[in-house]
Structure 1
Amino acid sequence: MNLSASLSGNLPVGRRTKLLIVDDQPLNIQVLYQLFSKDHQVFMATNGAQALALSASQQPDLILLDIVMPDMDGYEVCSRLKADPLTREIPVIFVTAHTDEASEEHGLDVGAVDFISKPVNPKIVRARVATHITLKKQSDLLRSWAYIDGLTGVNNRRYFDEQLGMEWARAERNKTGLAALLIDVDFFKRYNDHYGHQMGDDCLRRVATAIKASLRRPADQVARYGGEEFVCLLPDTELEGVLRVAEQIRCSVEQLQIAHADSPSSARVTVSVGGCTKLAGQDGAPEELIHQADAQLYAAKHDGRNRVRCAELVHQA
């Protein structure tokens, strides 16, 4: 086992479940690694700081966490994981020699889902890990259903609001940029009035599909913001990239060639797009990003619709 390589994330990338093992004793890590490395993608950390960093970057499906470690004990690590929106849903199992009731009660209080005593029994630790991974997958599935817009099949406003906070925190921590696009279907009320709500619903579904297809990176996200308005989050994207994606979305919708006989600006359904990007290391708040993207959307509509307007975030002191 190459501990340094694993700590760097140089393990086979696949669809296997991700486990993070956290222990300051390499021998303890070795035991757990041998139990799980065949069927899981295993990451390892030997202290709390490494554990927090890997949890945020790798998003493991479960964490096996020791309690007694130098600098930051397991209780503190678990508390920080549960306080961070990026990591709070990751189940934590304490693997420890501290098996008294007070230690177990404290561990559950800070957010752990289970306690396993050292030395570990291979059958027990495998069974408990399998149980909690299954529970997490079920929870993730239920959560995904709650985050999907029933009409268009893309994410909904609730999902976007949560992701905005998480991506903003990630951008600030990693000193990277973050961009948002607001997309409005031009004269959609007139479309609904002219063609009827059933065709209006079909129009929104087709527009949503075109927007989603225009996002090429796995990290880019689209959600229905409300009514005929959609929103995209583009992590680590500067102004040039924002403009390129926004124009791709505009063209993709126009190329659907959905007839719009009652539009004052075009014979086809079109969209106006407003974008804003936060520069790497720039201060501000996530609400400002959306507010200024909305201002750019207003400018695009004011200038004639079926166009793109984007700008860099200007911090409002």
Structure 2
Amino acid sequence: MYQLVKGALVNLDSLSKKKGNILLIDDLPENLKLLTDSLSKLGYTVRCAISGSRALKTIKSKLPDIIILDVKIPEMDGYQICEAFKADPDLCDIPILFISALDEAFDKLKAFQVGGVDYITKPFQIEEVVARLEAHLTIQKQHRILQEEIIKRKEIEEILYQSRAILSGILNSSLDGIAAMQAVRDPLTGDIQDFCCLVVNPIVSKVLNRKREDLIGKSFLKELLKNISPDLFDRFVKVVDLGEPLDEDFNYVSGDSYWYHYVVVKLGDGFAITIRDITTRKQTELALQNSNDKLELIANLDGLTQIANRRCFDDYLATEWLRHQREQNPLSLILIDIDYFKRYNDSNGHQAGDNCLIRVAQEIARVTQRPTDLVARYGGEEFAVILSNTNMEGALKVAAVTQTAIANLAIPHDNSDISDLITLSIGVASLIPTSERSIEGLISRTDQAMYEAKNRGRNRVIASLVR
């Protein structure tokens, strides 16, 4: 909408969008009325004061955006009023626009010297006043925005400073090693060539036995990781490229420590890593594992002969049965009994009997040297041999070699009816496990074969064909 103001056609819509709070200071009521009426119609908020003292008393009740100040005012002229405003910290930033009938260069120069931002001579055109007002209001608005931005920036800087101080405190006091790495990429292919250290705390520098200033800003990780694990660098690259974290233990000798746990997570075009010394925990775990292994060994060994006991035999046969059933390979079992051992024990004493059992057990174990074979004390003077992936022909060969080996020991037996040396009665069975057959059936057939060897005169091998 346009309106004729003082003979000029003014766009009120555009002006109304830029309203401002104006303080008019003039001792002539007609001047105040003229400017007040004209500016109010254009959407400005206008207040008036007829003297400098009155203006100074009331101005702080509501600070204006701009002041229009006449030069010729009794008691305090415009220059003095302006100087008073500029001396007050609360008022010094308010722009002052002088308006006066004085048009000498001296008067204009003095207006700017005391702090004025503009000088309009009378008689004036309202459109000129409005244009200059708008220009200075825009500058004032931009100045306020700038001041607000400065305040915000200072607040942000303070927050950042405090955050950095907190982060630095956390990094420096943390018992874990903490570091941040930035990817160093090939400018042509974009592939990660190495990682540059951005942040590192004292724990990491201690682990690496380097000063922090020698690490920050340096690319050393690729070379370092070669000494830990050849593929570890590529796995760190995948953390950055795929976003998949790493979380595991690794071995790295640093002083008295040699086991660490690390967690790596993607951070921008790089990663953050935390490292914890777990040497004490690892030592405890290894000691516990060693103890468990010893207990497991004790639980599965026969205390006298130091070969597998009956419990170990049962567990291993059950495992091998399932494996051979799955793979459809032959599984053989040998049961061995020392002939007339009770007589040997009675005539030679229990100590001699124990020594005999030990020698026989160790010799049987020496004959069967494959890792998948198991020799166990089955009970009393009986022994069992589990032969994996072995058919009847192979099992009979093992039985024959075992019998010969025991004969070669030449352990005297004065109370045997068949020899003056220790001899063995051996039963052998072999089959391919199926769902229709059972472990118990295999043991039963082998046991029957062994007793048949006894019934046929002992010191022999009898095979049982399992159908």
TM-score range, shorter chain: 0.5 to 0.7
Q: For 1:159, which of 312, 315, 325 is the aligned residue?
A: 312
The residue aligned with 2:293 is 140
Q: Which amino acid aligns with 1:195?
A: N
The residue aligned with 1:271 is 424
In structure 2, the gaps of 5 or more residues are 1-237, 254-262, 266-271
The residue aligned with 1:180 is 333
Residues 183-230 of structure 1: per-residue CA shift (max 9 Å, x gap): 000010111122111111111111011101110211111111111101
Q: Which amino acid aligns with 1:251?
A: T
The residue aligned with 1:213 is 366
Q: Secondary structure of 1:202's match?
A: helix
| Counterpart Cα distance in 2 of 1:240 and 1:222 | 19
The residue aligned with 1:252 is 405
Report how far residue 128 of structure 1 moved.
7.1
The residue aligned with 1:226 is 379
Q: Which has the higher contact order (CA 8 A, sep 6+)?
A: 1
Question: Structure 1 residues 290 and 202, CA, compared in 2 at 3 Å: closer, same or farther?
Answer: same
In structure 1, the gaps of 5 or more residues are 1-24, 40-94, 98-118
| Counterpart Cα distance in 2 of 1:256 and 1:231 | 19
Q: For 1:289, which of 434, 438, 442 is the aligned residue?
A: 442
CA contact (8 A) 1:178 1:238 kept: yes
Structure number with larger C-alpha Rg:
2
| Counterpart Cα distance in 1 of 2:313 and 2:403 | 21
Runs of 4+ in 1 over 6 A off after TM superposition: 25-30, 124-130
Report how far residue 301 of structure 1 moved.
1.0
The residue aligned with 1:202 is 355
**Structure 2 length-normalised TM:** 0.41
Q: Secondary structure of 1:255's match?
A: helix
Q: Secondary structure of 1:273's match?
A: strand
User: More displaced, 276-285 or 189-198?
Assistant: 276-285
Q: CA RMSD in A?
A: 3.2
Report how far residue 159 of structure 1 moved.
1.4
CA contact (8 A) 2:321 2:433 kept: no
CA contact (8 A) 1:176 1:281 kept: no
Question: Structure 1 residues 215 and 129, CA, compared in 2 at 3 Å: closer, same or farther?
Answer: same
Q: Secondary structure of 1:232's match?
A: strand
| Counterpart Cα distance in 1 of 2:317 and 2:275 | 41
Residues 32-68 of structure 1: per-residue CA shift (max 9 Å, x gap): 79x66999xxxxxxxxxxxxxxxxxxxxxxxxxxxxx
Q: Which amino acid aligns with 1:222?
A: V
Question: Structure 1 residues 280 and 290, CA, compared in 2 at 3 Å: closer, same or farther?
Answer: closer
Q: Which amino acid aligns with 1:151?
A: L
Q: Which amino acid aligns with 2:399?
A: A
Question: Structure 1 residues 132 and 28, CA, compared in 2 at 3 Å: closer, same or farther?
Answer: farther
| Counterpart Cα distance in 1 of 2:465 and 2:274 | 56
